[in-house]
Amino acid sequence: MNGRQLHFRLSGINNQNFIMRDEETGSWWQQVSGAAIRGPLKGQQLERVSQDELTFAQWKREQPRGRVLRPDPSVKEYAERNWESEIAKLPTVTPLIDRRLEPRTVVIGVHTGGKSKAYPMGALQKQSPIIDTIGTTPVIVILGPDRKSVRAFNRTVDGKTLELFAKPGTTELVDTQTGSEWDFTGRALRGPLAGKTLQKIEVLSDYWFDWRTYNPQTAVYTLGER
């Protein structure tokens, strides 16, 4: 932050959202936004690092030489395997008056071009890929071959907006403009656009109540919508 390296520790949980405290200034930081919400650095914003919502199996297929963070032997109590299902049973604290979805609905949140949209995971599992436009940005939201990992991309390539659909019998996509075939990483494998790559758009898997709290103007995708 401003050329200074900060070291963060868990400070607390705000409605199941991680609150970090930096050791250098004692400022508190919100996990979901990366913003300092209290202390000397209040109002400062951490720079986002691009990340994916992938299963380990999918990541390993793409990064066979990738390294894995080893559990810290000094930590005696890691979360149980059923942590997420147990957490999902807890009541929410933040009052949610937006009832377009149930508070605990898992959504894939996408923010691009100053606009936000939530895609219910259940809808994506029934209709993948989803071809959509957020604001003025043409997007595609897609499940990976494992049917759990999720990515989103801008559908514009060389100034042209592509229509992409699942290629029958495969885990690949094909665009109707050129017949090029694309994989889950957003890269064209075959066809006139071979070698081209779709611009990735970051996604966030979150509960609806949390996504809505930090994205109050968010739209919500409805199954079958175009």
Can you give the pLDDT at residue 148?
92
- What integer best gives the mean pLDDT of the chain? 90
Report all structural domains of the chain as residue ranges with CATH numbers, in order of start: 1-49 (no CATH), 106-220 (2.102.10.10)
Length of the chain, in residues: 226
Stretch 6-24: mean pLDDT: 88
Check whether 95 has a pLDDT greater than 70.
no
Can you give the pLDDT at residue 17?
79
Can you give the pLDDT at residue 94?
66
- CA–CA dist 51, 78 (Å, integer): 23
Could you read off the pLDDT of 140-157 as tens digits, one per residue? 999 999 999 999 999 999
Check whether 96 has a pLDDT greater than 90.
no
Kindly list the distances between the CA atom of residue 218 and the CA atoms of 19, 55, 90, 101, 140, in Å, as whole numbers in the listed order: 23, 26, 24, 12, 17
Q: Which is more confident, 222 or 89?
A: 222
Could you read off the pLDDT of 176-212 as tens digits, one per residue? 999 999 999 999 999 999 999 999 999 999 989 889 9
pTM for this one?
A: 0.86
